[in-house]
Amino acid sequence: MKSRLPKFQLVFFFAVLGRFGNELDQAASLYAQEKPNPIPTVTKSNAQPRLLPGVQSTGAIQLPNQWSLRPAGEQLELGDFPVNMALHPDGGWLAVLHAGWGTHEVVMVDIRKEPNKIASRVTLEQTFYGLCFSPDGKILYASGGEFEVVHAYDFEDGLLFHHRAIPVSPIKDRFVVGGLAIDSAGKTLCVAGPWATPCG
């Protein structure tokens, strides 16, 4: 008499295989019904505008690292690197010193009423940080940087004129004119030299 075990095992094998085959067929059918996501195409209608660094139409400042700044209040575009500001004694004028990669200059801003506006600007061969008005507001002093001088301008109604260069030290000393301050009497101008150079 033959054993039924091999036949039973064979029937069981085909039953499992048939069920597994049905599941494969169902999966293949579902996969065939799914449509792959199309690759998006860029057209003029959906293209995003190029966002370059600088002032945006919204008033925000876009930085090169893709961050943005949204300063409060009114903004006034000046030069490329403002390093110091000096308020005129009457409170109506603001001197802004620029000492960056671009033009070194002093920009005079009229802040007596809004919107603030640029009244004048003067260029300097080189400057650094120092900037101050005389106590009576008639003279503006600005650092001369590596040229061992302090720039002095007469000031009136937003204009800077009658430029003169005040020597601080001999050229051989290589004194860099940094910060400036003046006493309340307007008779003594103090000059700070960075990098451990003495004050004048």
Residues of 141-152 as b/e, b for ≥16 C-beta within 10 angstroms? Answer: bbbbbebbbbbb
- pLDDT value of residue 199: 55
pLDDT over threshold 80, residue 1: no
- pLDDT value of residue 43: 66
Q: How far apart are CA 86 and CA 130, in angstroms?
A: 9
pLDDT over threshold 80, residue 54: yes
51: confidence class by pLDDT, cuts 50, 70, 90: confident
Q: What is the pLDDT of residues 89-140, one digit of tens each?
A: 999 999 999 998 889 999 999 999 888 999 999 999 999 999 999 999 999 9
- pLDDT value of residue 114: 86
Cα–Cα nearest to 122, from 101, 97, 145, 102: 97
pTM given for the model: 0.68
- pLDDT value of residue 55: 82
Q: What is the pLDDT of residues 25-43, one digit of tens each?
A: 665 565 555 555 666 666 6
112 CB contacts (<8 Å, ≥6 apart)? 92, 93
Higher pLDDT, 109 or 1: 109
